[in-house]
A and B are shown apart, each in its own frame.
Chain A
């Protein structure tokens, strides 16, 4: 709506826990970030870091119980969506904000034909007849490369990659302002992956959609994102432009993450995995969450929260190594 450089989505101090067997999983801890109109933010981080939980919190579809949003304020387009009533939020879901789910195999209702699952959302958010919705849903299918004649088929008649495309068609059907794409290409083979990313990029350009892209795949990040945030144990530990993170990764974890990529040019003989495991989210370490695995950890890292230091303009990192620059 307004000019391009204005903040479109702002997440402040988001904290989410899961309660499982009397244990508390600290899935997301004080996460803040913002996103401009038309921009793409990549969330990277290993499995269990809390990426999906962040996306679901924005759409307010956390499973409650066991999930509980302890704190946080989410503002989109000037509206504080974290404070909306359930009914108002329902109208935003699938309309202004939509989500592509991680697992296409289970994201579709096995008993409803795929076309009807797409038109279901269309009829909820625009004032169109059933026939018009069907027609539009057919067009959406064509757009993701599935013949519209397969409208009447059921999810079991589709391959995993095609299901993922149906899920994408479903998410894009109502021209969302914000797209939460949770590993949209993980289930796809490389050629289709590129097609799907192009497709999303096209739409983004056309509709000026902002996107949060969750992925393990740094190649996908390089191809699509403007900014990148590294998520570790429920925290954003580094945030910056794509260039910042690829050319000048600062946090030892980000460095390790990017190092563990196979390199085309280098002649390193082996990949370098990051030593150690993600901490148990029910029992996070004191201080920096990465300190047990960090080769540079000092006494300071083992107590107290690490502040967010600005390494360079717009490039933030939660690591004491950069304290000098900040003060």
Chain B
């Protein structure tokens, strides 16, 4: 198992390097000179040239890329914001807690509620539990998260006045952002889990378990759920990545000073160090989510587990 995790971690580093390369290149190729954008329309050619020199954007693509890659992956330096001149990392440290709180809680809720609802619906096929779950998740799947967020603001902030509409003042400020970024993923996860359960309840090995005289409860816990979880777990990684990716939208709607909003501000101001660092952060978080789901999958699936423990077991057998 350790070998498997190590392998996944190595592949994560490769993914991050690829992401860094991509975001650098995309930003480099974006039309418009960052120095001019930063100085505004009234700046003279000379001022722009001096600025470009200070930023280093007058150098060749390869030079800039090399410096960026070495700074990022060898020195772990992310530079200063071009606009505000403060270190990007310092700003990130202030913003990370908000984004991570929302992201982490949303991921956990997506996994728990999504799996739970899917199991309830799948094991009650055709009954009211199933119909209600399917109707609600259908509605949620087709609702964009920003729209849901706006509806919630109108109801809970404007009309009822229960929850703050924007910013982060206390823990109540987290409620709506978390709900808004959770529901879509929950709905999708529930639907996938349900169809996985429906596939498995008809499986022969479930009949075998029943023929052994196993109780229905144990049949569900030991035979149906682990098998149904396999395909649903594969999907989970994608949904978790989606939550992080969606944080830019949710943070804008609720004006939360998080990484997502920082990235949007960076894009608008052509503040490349900010954009790059934020993108790398999102890439890191999604890869971690993917790795965790992959490890969960490998833990459940003996075929993958065996591939990485075979050697050990064979040795044991020979001994």
Task: Tally chain B residues at the interface, Cβ within 8 Å.
Answer: 25
Q: In the complex, A63 Cα to B205 Cα: how many Å? A: 13
Given the interface pairs A106-B203, A107-B204, A156-B303, the reply to whether A94 lies near B213 with Cβ below 8 Å is yes
- B85 at the A/B interface (Cβ < 8 Å)? no
Are A61 and B302 within 8 A (Cβ)? Answer: no
| Alpha-carbon distance A244/B58, docked complex (angstroms) | 100
A193 to B290, CA, bound (A): 46
Of A91, A112, A117, which contacts B213 at CB under 8 A? A91
Partner of A120, one of B203, B212, B226: B212
Most buried by B among A92, A113, A156: A156
Q: CA of A39 to CA of B301 in the docked complex: distance in angstroms?
A: 42
- When A111-B227, A113-B302, A157-B306 are in contact, do A106 and B204 touch as well, CB less than 8 Å? yes
Chain B hits for A106, CB < 8 A: 203-205
How many A-B residue contacts, CB cutoff 8 Å?
80
* Contact, CB under 8 Å: A93 / B212: yes
Q: B164-214: which residues lie under 8 A (CB-CB) from chain A?
A: 202-205, 207-214
Is there an interface contact between A63 and B202, defined as CB atoms closer than 8 Å?
Answer: yes
> From residue A104, how far is it (CB to closest CB) to chain B in Å?
9
Known: A107-B204, A109-B205. A154 touches B211 (CB 8 A): no
Interface residues of B in 196-250 (CB under 8 A from A): 202-205, 207-215, 222-223, 226-227, 230
Q: In chain A, what residue has the closest Cβ to B201?
A: A63
Nearest CB in chain B: distance from A143 CB, A:
18
A101-B207 CB under 8 A given contacts A109-B227, A111-B302, A154-B306: yes
- Tell me the bound Cα distance from A300 to B209 in angstroms: 47
- A103 touches B (CB below 8 Å): yes
B127 within 8 A of A: no
Interface of B is mostly: helix
Most buried by A among B211, B223, B302: B211
Tell me whether B120 is interfacial, beta carbon within 8 Å. Answer: no
| CA of A149 to CA of B319, assembled, Å | 12
Query: Would A111 and B300 count as touching, CB distance under 8 A?
Result: yes
Interface membership of A124, Cβ < 8 A? yes
In the complex, the answer to whether B302 meets A154 with C-beta atoms within 8 Å is yes
B317 within 8 A of A: yes
Tell me if A110 counts as interface (CB < 8 A to partner B): yes
How distant is the Cα of A122 from the Cα of B308 in the complex, in angstroms?
31
CB pair B223–A93 under 8 Å, yes or no, is: no
Residues of A near any B CB (own CB < 8 A): 59, 61, 63, 90-95, 98-99, 101, 103, 106-113, 117, 120-121, 124-125, 149, 152, 154, 156-157, 167, 170
Interface residues in chain B, defined as those with a beta carbon under 8 Å from any beta carbon in chain A = 202-205, 207-215, 222-223, 226-227, 230, 300-303, 306, 313, 317
